[in-house]
Chain A
């Protein structure tokens, strides 16, 4: 083999390597869903996966890595290689409520780089019809009488924090002592607890209780968004003069490990812009009560940071942080 042909081979392989480096992705991308199959995050992730896969041009390998309120899956991505081939579907619970509430969490917001937030879920508060409560004022009056309880999908979940934050905004001084938190295992169980009278009220993603509201099994009291939510004939936080509650929404986004290169993050921005235009995706997500709102990597980071700080402030003020 002559020198010439060796150098030719070298040149070709170098060229290939260069091309491969420039063209992320060159192989399938692992997408970690930190919550169980059939949950809000899972359905959202699998719905975006279709148009997103088309935009990426390489297969997306979806894997549910569940446990500990999203922590197990999040840790899996935190420790992954920072090459953009392992990405996480981050959720409000795993990436703003949990870090704000749990001192023992093995990760923080700084361990991730968010490339987008694409879905916002309005939060709604509701009671059972038999409680006789029909407005937030009624609820606050009941709280002052005592004996009010609220359910959640677990300690350190969005539902847990949401109930406390709403009460605090409506002038309840000591939400932790004036009411009782009855944690359940999962969002479905939390709604059932209000249905069967175990708890007085809950604040959760509007999509989780929209069928109960439509069937008049639950009475909604308010939604936390600026705009009204379809199917919820109740005042918004803006109507009630509580703009601080606009921060209290659920969301789904995509994140990679902290050291994710800029060009990878940019690529995700372009892909997501294409994917969220997909008519079928929009239709399915809106049918479930989600608001599709695409954020650029910078906006997403700012949004999550802002929500985290609000939550953290409330948690520190009330002494809700879990240290053990």
Chain B
């Protein structure tokens, strides 16, 4: 069957009102689900799954994909407005999105998040269509040693999000690494730091830590000093992103999209590290580096491009290999199986109409995301205009409900409050929270892959240098560390020159 025939077959399959309706509904459900803290894109997809059983396979899968894409964008709305990421993938969006909202630029931040998300979505979908086969074979060459080096490199992001003091950033990262060790040991299955409590055996819940670290300190600060915000203009969310700003951030968006495509096509990493990596790269190469973390619109763009770039690319291992890249695609693969479809190389031969139908649906989904996203922003941005003394208690209720709903476990709510106090102390002592979060996500991956590598090689460390991919990431890591060290030395010298210490 020629390419044109395949497209025609795909069109014939999705060219009905039902499919587009499902896709549209999916994106809408996703945006709303993603925007509710604690609901997360994963849960939105899982809750939609049973409804797809009765549908045509392609309609059902398009519905789920719509929820997925909408959810990843929707998460950025509360991240910007109330400093509570709706979905873990949008935690990097907080770094600049919330300061922008504080400055009364919520509308701009949300607009940029939408534009960056849609651009990344298009790039990600096109990569899926054009490079699926090639990227899939690449993904399979990623064993534990390759993962280890990739994650080692990713840990250099910490320098990018540490703010003014690298030392404080490192301290925060250490704390994150430490807390990530709680739970069952991967290789021996023994308990680590669980203090005999079954609730700790699964480790600390990620969403509870996330919300505790970012949202609760705001609330505690408000309790501590209820009138601090009075007189500061927080409104209004009426302003909108300009095309010039989009053009200025375009390079970061494209780079973030490709980082997303790359990390998304490798199973097992997910959208949050991709968003942070994209953010830190954008900061590293930006002219106004100092403004990052204080409300830089390019930071929002980079973070959102990084997480949405993953959304299309995670379908690469799913469709080409039948391997789910993250929890969400694991649920989507269930939908394929319920309908008797088996994703993998044979699907490109046996069900080529479905594959091309999905491709067409995905491209249309970017357009829907833009339309629905615009409407959602118009609705949600007025949250920024709500007086803080009314907003903050509402946020607290939302946080408690959201964290409880993740796992139906009251223990997680306790974790959230404890982490909230930790986060509050960190804010007071100017220790940035982002490195903590990155270490908390990447630490266990680093450890697991290192230990798996050692099991593979019988404890021979040379396996960590076993091929070109590992060499590539080792080189990249060394170069980045050198660059960070040089920048640090220069900063110290610069400070010394300014204070006149070098005069003799």
Contacts of A185 in B (CB 8 A): 186, 448
Which of B203, B322, B328, B458 contacts A215 (CB under 8 A)? B322
Within 8 A of A (CB), among B328-346: 328, 330-331, 334, 337-340, 342-346
Shortest beta-carbon distance from B369 to chain A in Å: 22
Q: 17 A–B contact pairs at CB < 8 A?
A: A43-B338, A46-B50, A66-B202, A67-B203, A68-B184, A68-B198, A72-B409, A102-B189, A104-B191, A183-B189, A183-B452, A192-B267, A192-B323, A198-B456, A210-B342, A287-B338, A287-B339
Given A181-B455, A192-B267, A324-B191, do A155 and B408 touch, yes or no (CB 8 Å)? no
Contacts of B337 in A (CB 8 A): 207, 211, 287-288
Contacts of A68 in B (CB 8 A): 183-184, 198, 201-202
Shortest beta-carbon distance from B296 to chain A in Å: 35
**A288 in contact with B338 (CB, 8 Å):** yes
Q: Mark B160-197, 1 if CB is under 8 A from A, else 0.
A: 00000000000000000000000111111111000000
Segment among B125-133, B137-145, B356-364 that sits at the interface with chain A = B137-145
Which residues on B are within 8 Å of A, measured CB to CB?
Answer: 42-43, 45-46, 49-50, 53, 140-144, 183-191, 198-199, 201-203, 205, 267-268, 321-324, 327-328, 330-331, 334, 337-340, 342-347, 407-409, 448, 452, 455-456, 458
Contacts of B340 in A (CB 8 A): 287
Q: Quick check: is A27 within 8 A (CB to CB) of the other chain?
A: no
**A71 in contact with B201 (CB, 8 Å):** yes
Closest 4 pairs (CB-CB, A-B): A67-B202, A155-B189, A38-B331, A37-B46
**B323 in contact with A188 (CB, 8 Å):** yes
Q: Quick check: is A313 within 8 A (CB to CB) of the other chain?
A: no
**B455 in contact with A106 (CB, 8 Å):** no
**A38 in contact with B198 (CB, 8 Å):** no
Q: Quick check: is A189 within 8 A (CB to CB) of the other chain?
A: yes
**B184 in contact with A196 (CB, 8 Å):** no
Given A72-B199, A156-B189, A284-B53, do A197 and B338 touch, yes or no (CB 8 Å)? no
Q: Quick check: is A274 within 8 A (CB to CB) of the other chain?
A: no
Question: In whole angstroms, what is the CA distance A287 to B340 when docked?
Answer: 6
**A211 in contact with B330 (CB, 8 Å):** no
Residue of A nearest to B340 (CB): A287
Question: In whole angstroms, what is the CA distance A104 to B452 when docked?
Answer: 24
Q: Quick check: is A310 within 8 A (CB to CB) of the other chain?
A: no
Residue of B nearest to A61 (CB): B408
Contacts of B346 in A (CB 8 A): 214-216
7 additional contacts (CB under 8 A) given A183-B186, A214-B344, A215-B342: A192-B267, A196-B142, A214-B342, A216-B346, A217-B321, A287-B338, A324-B188
Contacts of B409 in A (CB 8 A): 65, 72, 76
Contacts of A196 in B (CB 8 A): 140-143
Residue of B nearest to A323 (CB): B190
Question: In whole angstroms, what is the CA distance A63 to B337 when docked?
Answer: 23
Which of A38, A46, A66 contacts B330 (CB under 8 A)? A38
Question: In whole angstroms, what is the CA distance A195 to B268 when docked?
Answer: 14
Within 8 A of B (CB), among A211-237: 211-212, 214-217
Contacts of B188 in A (CB 8 A): 155, 322, 324
Residue of B nearest to A36 (CB): B327
Contacts of A183 in B (CB 8 A): 186-187, 189, 452
**B344 in contact with A72 (CB, 8 Å):** no
Q: Quick check: is A239 within 8 A (CB to CB) of the other chain?
A: no
Given A65-B408, A182-B456, A198-B456, do A75 and B198 touch, yes or no (CB 8 Å)? yes
Q: Quick check: is A64 within 8 A (CB to CB) of the other chain?
A: yes
Contacts of A256 in B (CB 8 A): none
Q: Mark A190-204, 1 if CB is under 8 A from B, else 0.
A: 011101111000000
Q: Mark A44-69, 1 if CB is under 8 A from B, else 0.
A: 00110010000000000001111111
Contacts of A46 in B (CB 8 A): 49-50
Q: Quick check: is A42 within 8 A (CB to CB) of the other chain?
A: yes
Given A38-B327, A72-B198, A287-B340, do A198 and B408 touch, yes or no (CB 8 Å)? no
Residue of A nearest to B205 (CB): A67
Given A38-B49, A180-B455, A211-B344, do A67 and B140 touch, yes or no (CB 8 Å)? no
Question: In whole angstroms, what is the CA distance A192 to B250 when docked?
Answer: 36
Question: In whole angstroms, what is the CA distance A191 to B202 when docked?
Answer: 22
Q: Quick check: is A39 within 8 A (CB to CB) of the other chain?
A: yes
**B144 in contact with A198 (CB, 8 Å):** yes
**B189 in contact with A322 (CB, 8 Å):** yes
Given A183-B187, A324-B191, do A198 and B327 touch, yes or no (CB 8 Å)? no
Contacts of A39 in B (CB 8 A): 330
Given A38-B330, A46-B50, A214-B346, do A191 and B323 touch, yes or no (CB 8 Å)? yes
**A217 in contact with B408 (CB, 8 Å):** no
Contacts of B338 in A (CB 8 A): 43, 284, 287-288
Question: In whole angstroms, what is the CA distance A113 to B199 when docked?
Answer: 22
Question: In whole angstroms, what is the CA distance A322 to B186 when docked?
Answer: 12
**B455 in contact with A64 (CB, 8 Å):** no
Which of A43, A181, A211, A287 contacts B322 (CB under 8 A)? A211
Contacts of A32 in B (CB 8 A): 408
Question: In whole angstroms, what is the CA distance A101 to B45 when docked?
Answer: 34
Contacts of B455 in A (CB 8 A): 149, 180-182
Within 8 A of B (CB), among A1-54: 32, 36-39, 42-43, 46-47, 50
Within 8 A of B (CB), among A241-277: none
Question: In whole angstroms, what is the CA distance A104 to B188 when docked?
Answer: 13
Contacts of A189 in B (CB 8 A): 267-268
Contacts of A184 in B (CB 8 A): 452
**A67 in contact with B322 (CB, 8 Å):** no
**B342 in contact with A211 (CB, 8 Å):** yes
Contacts of B330 in A (CB 8 A): 38-39, 186, 188
Within 8 A of B (CB), among A269-303: 284, 287-288
